[in-house]
């Protein structure tokens, strides 16, 4: 009896962990998740976005503009400025990417997905070239390329609203929506920003890559333009 109780408890505890891409486990095999949880039944992509409140849509777009236009490129500039120039195009090994490659990649992604995919500008991206480059522009030219792409993306985002977030798009041959495209670019930019920061910290003098003034128990951003706040 005790053994059965332990097995039942184990089954309950492992229920979520046992979920698979195909659905929920059952005694006879895999069951469609929507049969057990009607709320999981398929719905049209972002069918509820047109009803998103204007305030929530505006807040999403405002923070997206902030991250792409201010915080992430600001942190990248601070980090790579601390990186010794000889490391800008250096690869850890043959199949890895240099900091220069990643900056080109971010600029290409932002332009393809937001400036072109959402905003309608011609898509002239050569994605393979972003990773193939073994050397190239100096730091300031690279940062100008990135910051220009970000500024153009911010201008596109400034024209969007709750209704346009729900509009469909095809980007890189994939069906998506404006909402998903913006969300993707922000999270993608965030991931590579962290990667660039780590690469810079590995080779910069100790303490050279620093984003906040922690004096007085506070965290004052050092990557923001003078007079700007990071408050939403």
Where in the chain are the domains?
52-204
- What pLDDT is attached to residue 50? 60
Question: Contact at 8 Å (CB) between 165 and 57?
Answer: yes
pLDDT, mean of residues 63-69: 97
**Would you place residue 215 in the very low, low, confident or very high pLDDT band (cuts 50, 70, 90)?**
confident
- DSSP E strand boundaries for 135-202: 168-171, 174-177
- What pLDDT is attached to residue 53? 65
- What pLDDT is attached to residue 71? 96
- What pLDDT is attached to residue 141? 98
- Residue 158 burial by CB count (10 A; 0-12/13-18/19+): exposed, middle or buried? exposed
pLDDT, mean of residues 114-118: 98
Least confident window among 20-29, 122-131, 135-144:
20-29
pLDDT at residue 126 tops 70: yes
3-class secondary-structure state, position 126 = coil
218 or 142: which carries more pLDDT confidence?
Answer: 142
CATH node for 52-204: 1.20.120.450
**Average pLDDT of the chain to the nearest whole number:** 83
pLDDT, mean of residues 104-118: 98
How many helices (H) and strands (E) the chain has is answered by 9, 6
- What pLDDT is attached to residue 51? 62
pLDDT at residue 105 tops 70: yes
* pTM of the full structure: 0.76
CA distance 167 to 180: 10
- What pLDDT is attached to residue 222? 84
- What pLDDT is attached to residue 66? 96
**Would you place residue 28 in the very low, low, confident or very high pLDDT band (cuts 50, 70, 90)?**
very low
């Amino acid at each position: 009896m005790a053994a059965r109780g332990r097995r039942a408890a184990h089954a309950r505890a492992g229920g979520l962990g046992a979920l698979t891409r195909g659905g929920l486990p059952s005694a006879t095999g895999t069951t469609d998740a929507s049969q057990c949880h009607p709320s999981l039944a398929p719905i049209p992509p972002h069918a509820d976005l047109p009803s998103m409140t204007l305030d929530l849509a505006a807040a999403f777009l405002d923070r997206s503009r902030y991250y792409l236009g201010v915080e992430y490129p600001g942190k990248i500039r601070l980090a790579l400025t601390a990186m010794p120039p000889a490391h800008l195009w250096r690869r850890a090994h043959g199949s890895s990417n240099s900091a220069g490659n990643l900056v080109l990649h971010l600029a290409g992604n932002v332009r393809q997905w937001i400036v072109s995919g959402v905003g309608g500008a011609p898509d002239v991206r050569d994605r393979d070239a972003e990773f193939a480059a073994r050397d190239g522009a100096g730091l300031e030219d690279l940062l100008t390329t990135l910051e220009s792409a970000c500024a153009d993306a911010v201008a596109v985002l400034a024209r969007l609203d709750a209704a346009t977030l729900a509009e469909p798009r095809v980007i890189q041959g994939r069906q998506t929506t404006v909402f998903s495209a913006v969300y993707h670019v922000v999270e993608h930019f965030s991931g590579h920003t962290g990667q660039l920061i780590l690469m810079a910290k590995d080779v910069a003098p100790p303490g050279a890559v620093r984003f906040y003034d922690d004096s007085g128990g506070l965290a004052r951003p050092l990557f923001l333009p003078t007079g700007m706040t990071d408050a939403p």
